[in-house]
Chains A and B, each alone.
Chain A
Amino acid sequence: MYWSDKILGLVTILYLVLFLFHLLYFALRKERLLPFLWVALYVIFGFHTLGLMIRWIESYRLSIGHAPLTNFYESLIFFAWCISLILIIMKKSFRLPILTMFASITSLTFMGYASLSTSVDRAIQPLIPALQSNWLHIHVFTCFIAYAAFALSFFSGLFSLLPRGSLLPSKEVLDETNYRSVMVGFPMLTAGIMTGAVWAHYAWGSYWSWDPKETWSLITWIVYALFLHARFVKGWQGRRMALLSVIGFMSVIFTYFGVNFILSGLHSYAS
């Protein structure tokens, strides 16, 4: 048992509290509560960051120090962290309580699955030769920021497909958040693929080997490239864009989970 486990366990509970806080907001409909939701998110993000940093420090204590970005457990924790980070950085674009609520549910799910599932190995593992590179940090960071942004785009798209209730913001607003998240996610995914290619060149001698993870990241990239062209060149809006963002996120999910569990390849560190 590490200290970081305890802190990250606390963070999981805090995401649950944040979710309940959102329910309270929707029940009472008091706008005054809104700033408190954000304060809560800041505090949780602080603890979340602390947990990741302590895990990093603890890995040094085992004389195999490395950033906590190297197995499935750590990637789930980092995914949740990226969602909160992007919400905070782009607060102006994502100031919709329904969006922060679903972001907190997603983080809760990832963190809960990471800390409770028996199939997830939580031990700090030593760094295998293939991962001993500084490209690890920038590659994982760019990819997961992209995944997090696409998650927000997915929720925006999904909500605009639902019949409009009193809880949901207008379709125009959702269309805008959808587009804004892809605007961040797409360059980040591109950067993630490129840093991965450069790393692969130095580690394996080939910048592109059609490994399933690489191939699926390219498929995802194509879907979001189509998304951007549909919007900018064809002027698509509303339902069709929402569908594209849902398809895009399915592809993201498959790139992240599916490839690890269903297909095998050079990236199978996680399973």
Chain B
Amino acid sequence: MSAIKSELGGEEAPPPSSPVNYLYGFLSSLKFAILLLSLIAVGSIFGTVVKQQASPEEYLSFYSGSTYTLIRFFGLNDIFHARWFLSLITLFALNLVLCTTQRFVRMRRGNRDLTIPDEKALSAMSNSFLAKGRTMEDVSACLRGFKQEEAKGEGAFLEKGAISRYGVYMIHLSIIVILVGSLIGLVFGYRGPLTLHPGETRDSVQVRGGAGRTVPLGFTLKCNDFKASFYPNGQPKDYVSSVEILEGGKKVLEKEIRVNSPLSYRGINFYQATYGSTPVFLFDIGGEQVSLTQETPYSKDGLFLMPMRFEKSVHDFGAGVQIGYVEDEKPAAAWFLKDVPRLRERDIKGVKVRLLDIKDQYYTGLEVARDPGVWVVWSGFILILLGLYVNFFLYRRRIYLLQRQEGTLVAGMAFRNREAFKAEFEKIKEKIDVLER
């Protein structure tokens, strides 16, 4: 264990002398890191237990007034955006940078022991043997992957897997990279919902948060179609929005957006997030077929009417729509029921108005997101996985060689993974044994 500790560069810095040094010492200490991580973990637990970003009514139906005041005070209703939580993460980033730099400098300054132990110490190592009649060159030819280092003392000093010491720096650096990437996304990115009926176009999006500002897309998105399909058991199977991108009125791209297959155009991504349907009322008004949607007025030749209310079931008589109109300069309303022949047709100001059908028209709910930091986050991910591999699956081991009259004394040691090294050392021994003389 002590070997492991010293390999990682010992523990604390020398005792601080001035308050500034003391503060620096504390900010860069592991103790502070543990404190911060624990607080972040506890804050996160609150964030999963207390419902986030709900309305005051929802909280008050669940908590008492004074508890709700406390929740508001500590920002527990939106922890992950609360100032204290973000400050903890910022402090953690600072601590990580200081702590890691210190450790790195200490490692580079070299508490690496490059002295070759004497013959007695070498023979006493648990992995050692005398290769009779072999020269040091014979033996080093059998050591694949071992690199000879300049060392003090008689003999040779070879090392393998020394890179494993850098794993921890790669991991720590990658966490900073990921945090920087998410900060880039936070500052330069935006998100917002976009609802489109087939045939509709949009060239801007209302951003969520940030006082609901509207951001131009820089191009036009047109929805051509939306389809939702279901399995026989009623579970959803596929949501597909067929869209096209128009620039200067010209179509430049056509794509189907699905749940796991977003559209990406000029750094802006469009995701299939939700969908819904609105009723469309098909009317015959004086011999002309018209489709109307809720709260869109229709007016022609002095006739004015508008669908006001839709009910799936009006007093058990089936679907119906309430139409508002103006008669004798007074507002009036009448229900049209799809399944009751008597109530499908009416005269309004002498014009025959007949409800032909009520259909559902689907609309698609896309999520628009721009996040220029995402590639930084991805590189952080790759770096952390590489770092974990280097740190946990590579290990550092040494072999010392010493020329004696009878042959070469071979001794080895590993800083970690001693059992695996023992097997490796046995293999090396066998290889040397069967060398041609």
Contact = CB atoms under 8 A, between A and B. Distances in A.
A210 B392 contact: no
Interface string A45-86: 000000000000000000010000000000000000000000
A126 B273 contact: no
A236 B376 CA distance: 35
Interface string A249-271: 00000000001000100000000
Interface in A169-213: 183-184, 186-187, 190-191, 194, 197-198, 201-208, 210, 212
B259 A130 contact: yes
Contact of A218 (B44, B269, B371): B44
A165 B1 CA distance: 26
Given A133-B260, A205-B269, A259 B385 contact: no
B258 to A, nearest CB: 7
A263 B260 CA distance: 24
A234 B10 CA distance: 9
Given A92-B419, A215-B47, A126 B388 contact: no
B271 A129 contact: no
A234 B31 CA distance: 10
B37 A225 contact: yes
Contact of A206 (B5, B237, B369): B369
B235 A128 contact: yes
Contacts of B271: 203-205
Given A194-B385, A197-B381, A233-B11, A129 B258 contact: yes
B70 interface: no
Contacts, number: 114
Given A129-B239, A201-B374, A205-B262, A187 B389 contact: yes
B357 to A, nearest CB: 29
B284 to A, nearest CB: 38
A127 to B, nearest CB: 8
B374 A207 contact: yes
B60 interface: no
Interface string B259-272: 11110000001011
A241 to B, nearest CB: 11
A132 interface: yes
Interface residues of A, number: 44
A191 B236 contact: no
B428 to A, nearest CB: 19
Contact of A202 (B80, B262, B273): B262
B380 to A, nearest CB: 9
B55 interface: no
Contact of B191 (A184, A201, A206): A206
Contacts of A210: 44, 47, 52, 80
Chain A facing B: main interface SS: helix
B329 to A, nearest CB: 51
Interface centre among B1, B41, B49, B392 (most CB of A within 10 A): B41
Interface in B251-294: 258-262, 269, 271-273
B233 interface: yes
B260 A203 contact: yes
A219 B262 contact: no
A257 B419 CA distance: 36
A235 B258 contact: no
Interface residues of B, number: 52
B169 to A, nearest CB: 14
B238 A129 contact: yes
A106 interface: no
B191 A205 contact: yes
A140 to B, nearest CB: 15
A129 B47 contact: no
Contacts of B367: 204-205
Contacts of B5: 232-233, 235
A233 B388 contact: no
B40 interface: yes
Contacts of A234: 11, 30
A210 B384 CA distance: 20
Nearest to A127: B237
Nearest to B259: A129
B18 interface: no
A126 B237 CA distance: 8
Given A206-B191, A233-B8, A263-B49, A191 B385 contact: yes
Contacts of B369: 205-206
A64 B38 CA distance: 44
Contacts of B191: 205-206
A183 B30 CA distance: 20
- 8 pairs of A and B residues whose beta carbons are closest in the complex: A129-B259, A205-B271, A187-B388, A133-B260, A212-B48, A126-B231, A205-B369, A194-B381
Given A201-B374, A234-B30, 15 more contacts: A125-B235, A132-B260, A186-B388, A187-B388, A205-B191, A205-B262, A205-B367, A207-B377, A210-B47, A212-B48, A215-B48, A222-B37, A223-B41, A235-B5, A237-B1
Interface of B: 1-2, 4-5, 8, 11, 30, 33-34, 37-38, 40-41, 44-45, 47-49, 52, 80, 182, 191, 231, 233, 235-239, 258-262, 269, 271-273, 367, 369, 371, 374, 377-378, 381, 384-385, 388-389, 392-393, 419
22 contacts: A129-B236, A129-B259, A186-B388, A187-B385, A187-B389, A190-B384, A190-B385, A191-B385, A202-B260, A202-B261, A204-B367, A205-B269, A206-B369, A210-B47, A219-B44, A226-B34, A226-B37, A232-B4, A232-B8, A233-B5, A233-B11, A263-B48
